[in-house]
Amino acid sequence: MAFRYRILLIVSFLVLVLDQASKIFIDRSMMLHSSIPVIPNFFSITYLRNRGAAFGILANSAYRLPFFLLVSAVAICVIVVVIKKLREDQKLAAASLSLIFSGALGNVIDRIRLGEVIDFLDAHWYNHHWPAFNIADSAICVGVFLLAIDMYLEEKRAKGKE
């Protein structure tokens, strides 16, 4: 099996297990909207549910669930196609896309199972809160960041060959 497929399977398995296990734990051990300070005035575990996308976008739309499922399905399919086209030496790109893939899949599982996404990581500065997020969201953000780095490095490699 090619490296890009092995990394997709390994990363996806790890992220999905961590994401779903943490969400199940939060759901079973905390009351909705309850919060546990971890670092006072900076970081808490706060149980929230998000019906929308990032920052609650489209939370009250009648078409939100079909829309999010369709967008996620398209993104997952595109990622699989792109991973198939990667060269064997594009390990960082494979890992990055695998993080994005597994993050999208983790949130799709929530949307199918619950109709919304469980968020619980609450970064804040006193009363100024960043929107709560979860492990799947974190995987997507880290994946996008690493993909941007890989694209930059790939561009430098291409210019160096000219």
**For the chain, what are the domain ranges?**
3-161
pTM: 0.89
> Is 122 assigned a catalytic role?
no
Contact assessment for residue 34 and residue 149, using Cβ atoms and an 8 Å cutoff: no
Distance CA 12, CA 140 (A): 11
Return the structure tokens found at 26.
């939060």
Is the pLDDT at 55 greater than 60? The verdict is no
> What pLDDT, on the 0 to 100 scale, is given for residue 159?
84
pLDDT surpassing 70 at residue 155: yes
Selected catalytic residue, list 110, 119, 122, 150? 119
137 labelled catalytic: yes
Per the residue annotation, which of 19, 110, 122, 137 is the catalytic one?
Answer: 137
Of all residues in the chain, what percent carry a pLDDT higher than 90? 74
Residues in the chain: 162
